[in-house]
Amino acid sequence: MQVQDVITAYLNHLTVERGLARNTIASYRADLHRYQRWCQARMIMKFDEITAHDVADFITSLAYPESDGPGKALGAVSATRVTVSVRGVHRFACNEGFAGTDAAQRIAAATLPKRLPKALSYVEVERMLAATQEAIGAPDANAPVLLRDRALLEFLYGTGARITEAVGLAIDDVDLEGRICIVTGKGSKQRRLPLGAPAVDALAAYLVRGRPALAARGRGNTRLFLNTRGAALSRQSAFSVVQAAGVAAGIERPIGPHTLRHSYATHLLEGGADIRVVQELLGHASVTTTQIYTLVTAETLREVYVASHPRALSGGLAARQR
């Protein structure tokens, strides 16, 4: 089979049989199209013509810009993701009989160091929410939009939902009386998330005084969060809402919706929540993904210890007082 045909079959397999999320499929498609262009530039048209040396050469090329295409040089994280995509399509081709051998079998993806999520402190989250509340009371404020923004921020921090899950919510997915919502996560898997009192109050205010005004500008959209034209709020617009709230709160480092998700998980664990419960709330398929947040809380404990204990530093209390 042609390289292009095998890649198409693999993407269909990921979509239909494995049910991967749309954004994940888009990443695989971009990675494998880069691989396809690389093969075409070297006159490799049939998939079973690709050798282990070819795969190794392609992986090496990821550190350099493509000379015959728009691809940029990739960093370690992106290169690792592409390597996983290429290994996957070769394993698929071998299993399906499209290739006699798995040319990528001995290609190992780099092991990346675990990076600690950059969570906000609870004080910083409070400043963000307070800044949004103050803006609502301004005389020239666009109340419907600000009510939406506050509801979105309270929802993201109060549930730990992914931004795609939040903007994909329909009105019927939220039960304010029962303080529960249903989000659809990766692989179209649904989970029920509890809503805290501040999130319920902010959503109620938005649904009564904000959303109707926004909906009147559109054509009957059923999504919970709407933009100024009455259409569904996009991921990019939601990112801008969180970013603007961070600026208003005086948070100097860049933040986004995932920062609130990190903060939600970190604060739960710091408060004593069981890691398995946090895994379910976040919608992680494996507890290993959730365990990275335990590194954050361990680092927090270490910082408190160093700042507070008289024997934490060399020289003890006397060294602190000099």
Which of helix, strand or coil describes residue 77?
helix
How far is the C-alpha of 93 from the C-alpha of 150, rounded, in Å?
A: 49
Query: For each successive 10 residues of the chain (322 residues), what is the average pLDDT?
Result: 95 88 89 94 94 93 70 81 94 93 84 67 92 76 89 96 95 96 89 94 95 93 96 95 94 91 91 90 86 71 67 52 48
Residue 319 pLDDT: 45
Task: Indicate which residues carry an active-site annotation.
Answer: 162, 186, 258, 261, 284, 293
Give, in degrees to the nearest 5, the angle at Cα 234 between 161 and 16: 70
Q: Is residue 155 a part of any domain in this protein?
A: yes
- The amino acid occupying position 145 is V
Q: Is residue 148 a part of any domain in this protein?
A: yes
Shared domain check, 130 and 27: no
Q: What CATH number has the domain bearing residue 203?
A: 1.10.443.10
How far is the C-alpha of 27 from the C-alpha of 166, rounded, in Å?
A: 21
Residue 76 pLDDT: 79
Q: Contact 129/150 with Cβ under 8 angstroms?
A: yes
Q: What is the pTM of this model?
A: 0.66
What is the four-CA torsion angle of 237, 243, 244, 247, rounded to 10 degrees?
A: -170
Reported in sequence order, the residue ranges of 128-214 that DSSP labels E, i.e. its strands, are 174-175, 180-184, 190-194
How far is the C-alpha of 71 from the C-alpha of 61, rounded, in Å?
A: 11
Q: Is residue 100 a part of any domain in this protein?
A: no
pLDDT by residue (tens digit) across 156-196?
999 999 999 999 999 999 999 999 999 998 878 899 999 99
Q: Contact 102/82 with Cβ under 8 angstroms?
A: no
Residue 312 pLDDT: 64
Shared domain check, 265 and 145: yes
Q: Is residue 285 a part of any domain in this protein?
A: yes
Shared domain check, 182 and 89: no
**Structure tokens, 182:** 């249903």
190 strand-pairing partners? 184
Q: Is residue 108 a part of any domain in this protein?
A: no
Shared domain check, 277 and 137: yes
Shared domain check, 275 and 167: yes
Shared domain check, 228 and 152: yes
- Of the candidates 125, 151, 171, the one whose C-alpha atom is nearest the C-alpha of residue 267 is 125
Shared domain check, 66 and 129: no
- Of the candidates 119, 86, 78, 120, the one whose C-alpha atom is nearest the C-alpha of residue 104 is 86
Residue 321 half-sphere exposure, CB side, CA atoms within 13 Å? 5
Q: Is residue 20 a part of any domain in this protein?
A: yes
How far is the C-alpha of 270 from the C-alpha of 300, rounded, in Å?
A: 9
Strand order in the sheet with 180-184: 174-175, 180-184, 190-194
Q: What kind and span of H or E run contains 29?
A: helix 22-41
Total domains in the fold of the chain: 2
Shared domain check, 242 and 156: yes
Shared domain check, 141 and 272: yes
Shared domain check, 160 and 20: no
Q: Is residue 149 a part of any domain in this protein?
A: yes
175 strand-pairing partners? 180
Q: What share of the chain is helix, strand, coil (3-state, %, to 5)?
A: 60, 5, 35
Residue 111 pLDDT: 61
Shared domain check, 170 and 262: yes
Q: What CATH number has the domain bearing residue 68?
A: 1.10.150
Q: Is residue 313 a part of any domain in this protein?
A: no
Residue 91 pLDDT: 95
Please give the residue range of the domain that contains residue 161: 122-305
Shared domain check, 221 and 181: yes
